[in-house]
Amino acid sequence: MIAIAQRVSFASVSVAGVSVGAIEQGLLVLACAEPRDTEAIADKLVHKLLKLRIFADEQGKMNRSVVDVRGGLLIVSQFTLAADVSGGNRPSFTGAAGPELGRALYERLLATARALHPIVASGKFGADMQINLVNDGPVTIPITLRD
């Protein structure tokens, strides 16, 4: 599973001009399932996100997690994270899971996150989405998890 976690002071996602999810301080997470991913990997990603220490403590050091700062998670599916441009200028997306597996693992990410954290918002799987964010720092962390 591939993810990009961005520390934000605000983030929202809209579909056709209608907001479908928003958070204040927290993490905007762009997530892409790969063909060999499992529910266990999706669960592992949620645990990693909740423990990721990228928020500042009193000394300005990145020692706090999204849980510690009572921040939100905005999780958005983004199959383009699996893009391969090694063969030319038009990206290939064969590294992304197919729609059925991608949807199932995205829904698992959301279910696990909602079971473990009180503030979870989401995009809409497969939709053309627009994301607005204020990246705090900026802090952007790539995460790749595999079996």
Tens digits of per-residue pLDDT, 109-123? 999 999 999 999 999
What CATH number does the domain located at 2-76+97-137 have? 3.50.80.10
The reported pLDDT for the residue numbered 52 is 98
Q: 3-state class of 137 per DSSP?
A: strand
Instruction: Please say if the pLDDT value at position 97 is more than 90.
Output: yes
The reported pLDDT for the residue numbered 147 is 81
**Which are the catalytic amino acids?**
78-80
| Encoded amino acid at 138, one letter | P
The alpha carbons of the chain give a radius of gyration, in whole angstroms, of 15
CA distance 9 to 137: 9
Which residues does residue 26 pair with via DSSP β-bridges, in sequence order?
8, 72
pLDDT band, very low/low/confident/very high, at 101 (cuts 50, 70, 90): very high
Domain extents in the chain: 2-76+97-137
Read off the tokens for 81.
Answer: 């994270």
Tens digits of per-residue pLDDT, 3-62? 999 999 999 999 999 999 999 999 999 999 999 999 999 999 999 999 999 999 999 999
